[in-house]
A and B are shown apart, each in its own frame.
Chain A
Amino acid sequence: MKPGFLAKNPSVLSFLLVLAIFTLAVTLMSEAYGAGLVSTSMVKTLGKTLTLCLIAIAMDLIWGYTGILSLGHFAFFGLGGYMVGMWLMYARTREIVVSSAAGALPMTPQELQDAIATQIFGVVGTSELPAVWAFAGSLPAQLALVVLVPGVLAFVFGWFAFKSRVTGVYLSILTQAMTLALSLYLFQNDSGLRGNNGLSGLQNIPGLDGVGQDALSVWFLWASALALGLGYLLAHFVVSGKFGSVIRGIRDDEARVRFLGYSVENYKLFVFTLTAIIAAIAGALYYPQAGIINPAEIAPIASIYLAVWVAIGGRGRLYGAVIGAAFVSLVSTWFTGGRAPDLPLGFYTIKWVDWWSVLLGLSFVLVTLFAPKGIAGIADWLQGLRPPRRGGAPLGPGDGSLQEKEALE
Chain B
Amino acid sequence: MRRLFLALAAGMILALPALPVAAQQAPAPTQTTTPTAPISRPTSGLAAVLAENAAAIAKPSRQTIGPVIAAIGAAGPGAPEFLEAWADRRVGQRADGRFVLLAPAPEGYALSDPATGQALGTAPKSEITELKPNSGVRGLIASALVEFQLNDPDPAKRRAALDALARNGGPEHIAPLRAAIETEPDAAIRAAKERLEGLLTIRHGSDPARRIAAIEGFGSDLGLDLRGALNPLLATTRRAFAGAPEGNIAAELTPGRGDFDAEAAYALLVAQDMAPARLTRAALRAALEAHIVEGKVGGIPVAELDDPARRDAAYAALETAGLVPPAATDDEVAAAVVAHRYADLYAEPDAAVTDAARAALHGIETTVGAMQVADLALDALSLGSIYFLAAIGLAITFGVMRVINMAHGEFITMGAYTGYVVQTWISDYTISILVALPLAFAVTFGAGVAMERLVIRHLYKRPLETLLATFGISIALQQIFKNVFGTQARPLTSPGWLDGALMLNDVVSISYIRIAIFVLALIFLGIFLWIMTRTRLGLEVRAVTQNPSMAASMGINPDRINMLTFGLGSGIAGIAGVAIGLFAKVTSELGSDHIVQSFMTVVVGGVGNIWGTLAGATLIGSLQKGIEWLNPSNTLAAQTYMILFIIFFIQFRPRGIIALKGRAAGD
Residues of A near any B CB (own CB < 8 A): 69, 103-111, 157, 160-161, 163-166, 168-170, 172-174, 176-178, 180-181, 184-185, 187-188, 190, 300, 304, 307-308, 311, 354-365, 368-369, 372, 394, 399-400, 403
Contact = CB atoms under 8 A, between A and B. Distances in A.
Given A166-B654, A172-B464, A357 B479 contact: yes
A172 B467 contact: yes
Contacts of A307: 468, 471
A170 B603 contact: yes
B475 A357 contact: yes
Interface stretch (B214-222, B340-348, B608-616, B639-647): B639-647
Contact of A357 (B307, B478, B634, B643): B478
Contacts of A356: 479
A362 B288 CA distance: 70
A107 B306 contact: yes
A1 B219 CA distance: 98
A399 B43 CA distance: 106
Contact of A364 (B469, B479, B648): B469
B624 to A, nearest CB: 12
Interface string B298-329: 00001101111001000000000000000000
A395 to B, nearest CB: 12
Contact of A399 (B464, B469, B599): B464
A184 B640 contact: yes
Interface string B24-63: 0000000000000000000000000000000000000000
A181 B461 CA distance: 30
B596 A177 contact: yes
A354 B647 contact: no
A164 B654 contact: yes
Of listed B308, B477, B478, B654, residue having the most chain A CB within 10 A:
B654
Contact of A170 (B472, B479, B650): B650
A164 B651 contact: yes
Contacts of A361: 471-477, 479
B650 A164 contact: yes
A358 B462 contact: no
Interface residues of B, number: 54
Contacts of A161: 650-651
Given A176-B596, A180-B596, A365-B455, A103 B285 contact: yes
Contact of A368 (B281, B289, B463, B469): B469
A128 to B, nearest CB: 15
Q: Give 6 closest A-B pairs by Cβ, nearest first.
A: A361-B476, A364-B472, A361-B475, A357-B479, A181-B643, A106-B306
A365 B472 contact: yes
**Best-surrounded residue of A107, A172, A307, A355 (most CB of chain B within 10 A):** A172
Contacts of A105: 285, 288-289, 302, 305-306, 311
A103 B634 CA distance: 40
A357 B483 CA distance: 11
Contacts of A184: 636-637, 639-640, 643
B501 interface: no
A307 B311 CA distance: 59
A357 B467 contact: no
A365 B454 CA distance: 10
Contacts of A362: 472-473, 476
Contacts of A180: 596, 639, 643
Contact of A185 (B463, B480, B637, B651): B637
Contacts of B285: 103, 105, 111
B458 interface: yes
A358 B476 contact: yes
B8 to A, nearest CB: 61
B529 interface: no
Contacts of A188: 634, 636-637, 640
A170 B404 CA distance: 10
Contact of B468 (A111, A164, A311): A311
A104 B297 CA distance: 11
B462 A403 contact: yes
Interface of B: 281, 285, 288-289, 292, 302-303, 305-308, 311, 404, 455, 458-459, 461-465, 467-469, 471-480, 482-483, 596, 599-600, 603, 634, 636-637, 639-640, 643-644, 646-648, 650-652, 654
Contacts of B648: 160
B647 to A, nearest CB: 6
A400 B285 CA distance: 66
Contacts of A359: 476
Contacts of A176: 596, 599
A297 B70 CA distance: 75
Contacts of B654: 164-166, 170
Contacts of B292: 104
B471 A372 contact: no
Nearest to B472: A364
A372 B465 contact: yes
Given A168-B464, A355-B483, A361-B476, A110 B639 contact: no
A103 B297 CA distance: 14
A174 B644 CA distance: 10
14 contacts: A108-B305, A108-B306, A161-B651, A168-B463, A173-B599, A176-B599, A177-B647, A178-B643, A181-B639, A188-B636, A188-B640, A311-B468, A361-B474, A365-B469
A360 B305 contact: no
Contacts of B599: 173, 176
A361 B468 CA distance: 10
Nearest to A402: B462
Contacts of B404: 169
Contacts of B643: 177-178, 180-181, 184
A110 B474 CA distance: 52
A23 B472 CA distance: 33
A190 B483 CA distance: 36
Contacts of A181: 639-640, 643-644, 647
Contacts of A304: 468, 471
A164 B654 CA distance: 7
B636 A185 contact: yes
B281 A110 contact: yes
A111 B281 contact: yes
B239 to A, nearest CB: 30
A163 B469 CA distance: 29
Given A104-B302, A361-B472, A187 B464 contact: no
B598 to A, nearest CB: 10
Contacts of B308: 108, 110
Contacts of B650: 161, 164, 166, 170, 174
A325 B363 CA distance: 65
Given A111-B281, A168-B463, A354-B483, A106 B305 contact: yes
B202 to A, nearest CB: 39
B390 to A, nearest CB: 15
Contacts of B652: 164
A368 B463 CA distance: 12
Contacts of A357: 475-476, 478-479
B499 to A, nearest CB: 32
A237 to B, nearest CB: 26
Nearest to B403: A169
A111 B311 CA distance: 13
Nearest to B310: A108
Contacts of A111: 281, 285
Contacts of B483: 354-355, 358
Nearest to B638: A184
B455 A369 contact: yes
A369 B458 contact: yes
Contacts of A104: 289, 292, 302
B473 A365 contact: yes
Contacts of A166: 650-651, 654
Contacts of A177: 596, 600, 643, 646-647
Contacts of A358: 475-476, 479-480, 483
Chain A CB count within 10 A is highest, among B475, B483, B648, for: B475
Nearest to A103: B289
